[in-house]
Structure 1
Amino acid sequence: MKQLTACVLALFTGGILAFRPAADTPPTLPKVVEPTFSRDTFNITKYGAVADGQTLNTEAFRKAIDACSQKGGVVLVPRGLWLTGPIQLKSNVNLHVQRGALVQFSGKLSDFQLIKTNWEGVDAVRNQSPLSGSDLENIAITGEGVFDGAGDAWRMVKKEKLAEGQWQKLVKSGGVVDAKGTTWYPTAQSLKGSTTTKPGVLQPGKDIADYADIKDFLRPNMLSLQRCKKVLLEGFTIQNSPAWTIHPLLCENITLRGVTARNPWYGQNTDALDLESCKNGIVENCTFDVGDDGICIKSGRDEQGRKRGVPTENFIIRDTKVYHAHGGFVIGSEMSGGARNLYVTNCTFIGTDVGLRFKTTRGRGGVVENIFVDGVQMTDIAGEAILFDMYYAAKDPVQVTGEAFAIPEIKAEPLNDGTPVFRNFRIKNVTCKGAATGILVRGLPEMNVQDIEIENTVLESKKGLVCQEGNGIRLKNVALYSTETKPVMEVQNSQNLTLDNIRFADGADLLLRVTGDRSKAVKLVNTNTKAAKKDVELGQKLSKKVVTVSKL
């Protein structure tokens, strides 16, 4: 592995890690073990494959992989257009797609069978993935070729996401439109599935046959690896996925290097990478341009995820670009098994909805901790550059107390196994040019977002900082160049905040507003407060002692 820069390693001082220069990996992380293969090569053409785009080569792929697995080696996919049904990997096989090779998965939905699997963190019935492997060891997919998942044959499309001419063309191509005329479905089965409660979720007493009438709605993830060890994914392009694109689940020792994932921007649930309950890995030099989250960390959902209890841990993610996704680097919201010891460095997010996106909600449970970010560049972020949200996918709270101008307060609930935890994040050297909000922290009154440090960061946005229900939030050497300056920083029901050397546009109307009767110990230090028309505004019944200002 390339060594991390000294500035990244310096991030860890004073925390759980100690600074050790010239280390190959952060000190607490084990070295990632890559698979090895013999030079024996099994060309799919020797097993009957034909590159005419007409012949279904499913059986040829199966025979080549079976033969290779017995000896160990490389299954070679030479240049050409190879039409196929689902491909199942086996241990000790490197599936190598040469430059100029296009593996085109069938758009005929009957070529894929329903199976028991896992979807969005719970047991489910879905169609089998175009590429899959379970309980394998020493496997790889390599080469500079392309895998295309024929996702358009599976996906529904919302009218609002297309121009009128595109919508009319889609409707004329076949399929069905819902009663409201707002969503197109490729088949009537797919439409029926959209109206079913918890479609595909494996219910007690039900089996695969019980889901046959909505089969077409149950889109598969494109590359699904479950309980695999020593995995290498390198160099190829994977595109047009029916749902999630790359989904390792309960895997160990994963190397993802130089992979490109591409999906239409309107493709729902087409995350590029979902690392779920995985251990020990590196993601580097990848390019993701998809219709949902880019790099996503997961670990199961709600009670099932907590019962599994396997966090995603010990990953380095670096030198990777994300375009047009919902989030650049994302944790959650299905993170009930937890996530820890994740290191993100030198990544670029362009045109994503959110940059650094950490999301959960009541009922998830799980602990997300020891997350380190150093060096992220962002432009044209539609929402938040940096987001901590413990109220994801829930109805926004309404104002129950406090001033009319304040952001709504959230009513506290009792702590239980479903209470999620976000703590110990270290973020530094982030630059964002263009976002709706620079930093949004939204914790729960019963469980604040805790121990967050953001340093050496420049954020250009409409709103600056919004911090609700945070504890131990520290901003140091942070520029909040916001266009809305009433106020630049909004703090509500938060405590132990340190705002150190905050820079902002001259002439701001109000630098800091603090509200909520639980707010306390807010420090504004080493900051030129004179550059604002007013430095601090306090909510009703708040003592002046709540905020300490050390003026330059």
Structure 2
Amino acid sequence: MQFNIVEIFNRSVTAELVSDRIFKQDAEFDVYINGEKKLRTDRNVFSVMGLLPDTKYVIKVEAGDGSFSEKEFVTGHESVLLDVREFGAKGDGETPDTAAIQAAISCCPKDGTVYLPAGDYYSTALFLKSNMTLWLDEGARILGDTDRTHYPILPGMTRTTDEKDEYNLATWEGNPLTSFASLITAIDAENLDIIGPGTIDGNAQNSDWWKDAKKKRIAWRPNDMYLVRCRKVRVQNVTIQNSPCWTVHPYYSDDLAFLNLYIHNPSDSPNTDGLDPESCSSVRILGTVISVGDDCIAIKSGKYYMSLKHHKVTEDVVIRNCKFERGHGSVTVGSEIAGGVKNVRVSQCIFDGTDRGLRIKTRRGRGERSVLDDILFENIDMSGVHMPFTVNMFYFCDPDGHTDYVQNQEPAPVTEMTPAIGTIAGRNINCEGVSACMLCAVGLPESPIGKLQFENIKASFLPEAERVPERPVMMDNFDEMTGRSIYAKNVKELVLKNVEIHGCADTAPELLGVEKQELSEVEYC
């Protein structure tokens, strides 16, 4: 079995099989370190923990038939290991441990590790720094304090002393608004590792974070993990759960790796997206399982003010060998995308029981820099996804989302506030258990969707008795659908090749304002 080493840490390693199988293998295989069996798994991306720093190892992957491959690697350097218990942390789930853990972090030298052994560490926001590792061992859990008044507040935007610039610390749904500091916060940090197999638990179900979720109380809700202007951050084999708001939120950060994470929030928890890179570049999300109350992954780049004053495109995002369960969308682009999004690759993933699979959402007012382009989904298995592909340029978010300016379907003047969509593509995708509509795309009449290209798609609908009418796109004056195959409106070019649709209620696509169409081997069964 061929594999590549993805990342080497000071006490662990992550590897990925070279395989066209989606997310996992048909049978389990064994992983050995220096001849000792360490792991048995069927996952394409896997992590081996419990290694020693500055040590040479041989990792061997062996299949059930005896075939194997192996590679050598050397773990990273570690200058010192600081146990938070020695700084006074109790880990009893009741005693406030924030000060003790923060003391260990503050005292940690370059290339040092702050170590949390098994226990429940009751804490408010912790601030990490550059050139360190935070290690949550087996059974270690950082448990969020349930009293919001115990959390520090991060100002949204502060004028610099010379009044020539701005210093941004906090954000709320794409705007620079004052928010509570997150349970794990890093600001302007680089070369930072956070490794498991322990847990970061926001404990929101035992607090009031999910009550009146859209109402600001003192400050806006925090995340479980918030990374601001960070570089070279890696998060490996950690469970992250019960977040007050978006769970993992990298913000204006670059060169990020999220490996073998398990992100979980209750299905009815509000705005608890799984992982939302906003105005970030070079982001890798591998081997991660997400099950949440909103979008599993939502790729963002802020609202108009941030694009105008602090423009940064989100680009070069790789999502591979992941599994997304429940949630409103499996992988979403939007809706706070005023800075634009480009070069997104989603492959070898399972979408299981989410409302939508590929979900694009934008609207008038995002601005001319809001260009979404070069987004590719391939080699995907969808099961029980009601609406596999949706593209919506009338998304009714924000206080003005239902105004005539946003929702009027007549052509509006093209201005500096008009967004655009380039090419969205999907290929080699199997969709089982479709309900409302396989592909629903609605562009702006004054700014049609550039190109939708779908190849080698197989879709099968639920039996009619099991289908429930739903609105594939969240916009005003748009009817619910059930059993619909393809609906496209205001699109410059639509390409469908080798598309096979079983059990839908219609027998042909409904195309309105589609300038160019190439329909090749589109079969209704």
TM-score bracket, normalised by the shorter chain, equals 0.7 to 0.9
Paired residues of 1:479 and 1:504 also in contact (CA < 8 A): yes
**367, 372, 379: which is aligned to 1:375?**
379
Deviation at 1:417, TM superposition (A): 1.7
Q: State how far apart, in whole Å, the 1-side matches of 2:349 and 2:177 are.
A: 33
Letter in 1 for 2:203: A
Paired residues of 2:125 and 2:152 also in contact (CA < 8 A): no
Where does 1:313-328 land on structure 2 (aligned, <5 Å)? 313-328=315-330
CA RMSD of aligned residues (A): 2.3
Residue aligning to 1:412: 411
Measured against aligned partners, the alpha-carbon deviations of 1:162-189 in whole angstroms (never above 9, x if no partner) come to xxxxxxxxxxxxxxxxxxxxxxx3xxxx
Question: CA, structure 1 residues 249+284, in 2 after alignment: closer, same or farther (shift >3 Å)?
Answer: same
Residue aligning to 2:517: 497
Deviation at 1:156, TM superposition (A): 6.3
Measured against aligned partners, the alpha-carbon deviations of 1:365-409 in whole angstroms (never above 9, x if no partner) come to 200111122111111123x210111111167899xxxxxxxxx99
More strand by share: 2
Paired residues of 1:288 and 1:321 also in contact (CA < 8 A): yes
Question: CA, structure 1 residues 155+451, in 2 after alignment: closer, same or farther (shift >3 Å)?
Answer: farther
Where does 1:145-164 land on structure 2 (aligned, <5 Å)? 145-155=198-208
Letter in 1 for 2:441: V
Q: State how far apart, in whole Å, the 1-side matches of 2:154 and 2:200 are.
A: 22
Measured against aligned partners, the alpha-carbon deviations of 1:127-155 in whole angstroms (never above 9, x if no partner) come to 11111010111101101001110112455
Give the secondary structure class of the aligned counterpart of 2:290: strand
Residue aligning to 1:140: 193
Give the secondary structure class of the aligned counterpart of 2:177: strand
Q: State how far apart, in whole Å, the 2-side matches of 1:452 and 1:483 are.
A: 21
Deviation at 1:113, TM superposition (A): 2.5
Q: State how far apart, in whole Å, the 2-side matches of 1:120 and 1:450 are.
A: 27
Letter in 2 for 1:414: P
Paired residues of 1:141 and 1:233 also in contact (CA < 8 A): yes
**495, 501, 512: which is aligned to 1:480?**
501
Paired residues of 1:397 and 1:410 also in contact (CA < 8 A): no
**128, 133, 148: which is aligned to 2:181?**
128
Deviation at 1:460, TM superposition (A): 2.1
**393, 396, 420: which is aligned to 1:393?**
396
Paired residues of 1:354 and 1:381 also in contact (CA < 8 A): yes
Paired residues of 1:154 and 1:219 also in contact (CA < 8 A): no
Give the paired residue count. Answer: 416
Residue aligning to 2:441: 441
Give the secondary structure class of the aligned counterpart of 1:99: coil
Q: State how far apart, in whole Å, the 1-side matches of 2:306 and 2:177 are.
A: 12
Residue aligning to 2:70: none
Residue aligning to 1:61: 101
Residue aligning to 1:277: 279
Measured against aligned partners, the alpha-carbon deviations of 1:307-347 in whole angstroms (never above 9, x if no partner) come to 32211111211000111111001100011101111111011
Paired residues of 2:172 and 2:220 also in contact (CA < 8 A): no
Residue aligning to 1:171: none
Residue aligning to 1:173: none
Residue aligning to 2:87: 47
Paired residues of 1:122 and 1:305 also in contact (CA < 8 A): no
Question: CA, structure 1 residues 368+111, in 2 after alignment: closer, same or farther (shift >3 Å)?
Answer: same
Determine whether 1:428 maps to 2:430. Answer: no
Give the secondary structure class of the aligned counterpart of 1:374: strand
Residue aligning to 2:344: 342
Give the secondary structure class of the aligned counterpart of 1:122: coil
Residue aligning to 2:29: none
Residue aligning to 2:69: none
Question: CA, structure 1 residues 325+37, in 2 after alignment: closer, same or farther (shift >3 Å)?
Answer: farther
Residue aligning to 1:329: 331
Residue aligning to 1:471: 492
Paired residues of 2:389 and 2:439 also in contact (CA < 8 A): yes
Give the secondary structure class of the aligned counterpart of 1:274: coil
Determine whether 1:260 maps to 2:243. Answer: no
Letter in 2 for 1:376: I
Q: State how far apart, in whole Å, the 1-side matches of 2:396 and 2:349 are.
A: 27
Q: State how far apart, in whole Å, the 2-side matches of 1:419 and 1:482 are.
A: 38
Give the secondary structure class of the aligned counterpart of 1:230: strand
Give the secondary structure class of the aligned counterpart of 1:71: coil
Give the secondary structure class of the aligned counterpart of 1:45: helix
Q: Structure 2: which 5+ residue stretches go unaligned?
A: 1-5, 7-15, 23-74, 156-169, 462-482
Deviation at 1:39, TM superposition (A): 4.6
Q: State how far apart, in whole Å, the 1-side matches of 2:524 and 2:310 are.
A: 46
Letter in 1 for 2:240: I
Paired residues of 1:265 and 1:291 also in contact (CA < 8 A): yes
Deviation at 1:302, TM superposition (A): 2.2
Runs of 4+ in 1 over 6 A off after TM superposition: 3-8, 394-398
Letter in 2 for 1:471: K
Letter in 2 for 1:75: V
Determine whether 1:108 maps to 2:147. Answer: yes
Paired residues of 2:314 and 2:340 also in contact (CA < 8 A): yes
**63, 72, 83: which is aligned to 2:122?**
83
Give the secondary structure class of the aligned counterpart of 2:500: strand
Q: State how far apart, in whole Å, the 2-side matches of 1:151 and 1:413 are.
A: 43
Question: CA, structure 1 residues 4+253, in 2 after alignment: closer, same or farther (shift >3 Å)?
Answer: farther
Paired residues of 1:136 and 1:228 also in contact (CA < 8 A): yes
Q: Structure 1: which 5+ residue stretches go unaligned?
A: 9-34, 158-184, 200-213, 399-407, 506-552
Paired residues of 1:37 and 1:92 also in contact (CA < 8 A): no
Paired residues of 2:209 and 2:244 also in contact (CA < 8 A): no
Deviation at 1:427, TM superposition (A): 1.2
* TM-score normalised by length of structure 2: 0.75
From the CA coordinates, give the structure whose radius of gyration is larger. 1
* TM-score normalised by length of structure 1: 0.72
Letter in 2 for 1:269: N
Measured against aligned partners, the alpha-carbon deviations of 1:250-285 in whole angstroms (never above 9, x if no partner) come to 111101100111001111110000001111121100
Give the secondary structure class of the aligned counterpart of 1:275: coil
Paired residues of 1:121 and 1:304 also in contact (CA < 8 A): yes
Question: CA, structure 1 residues 147+409, in 2 after alignment: closer, same or farther (shift >3 Å)?
Answer: closer
Measured against aligned partners, the alpha-carbon deviations of 1:29-68 in whole angstroms (never above 9, x if no partner) come to xxxxxx9652521110111111222211111111111111
Paired residues of 1:464 and 1:482 also in contact (CA < 8 A): no
**355, 369, 387: which is aligned to 1:353?**
355
Where does 1:130-209 land on structure 2 (aligned, <5 Å)? 130-155=183-208, 185=211, 194=215, 199=216
Letter in 2 for 1:380: G
Percent sequence identity is: 30
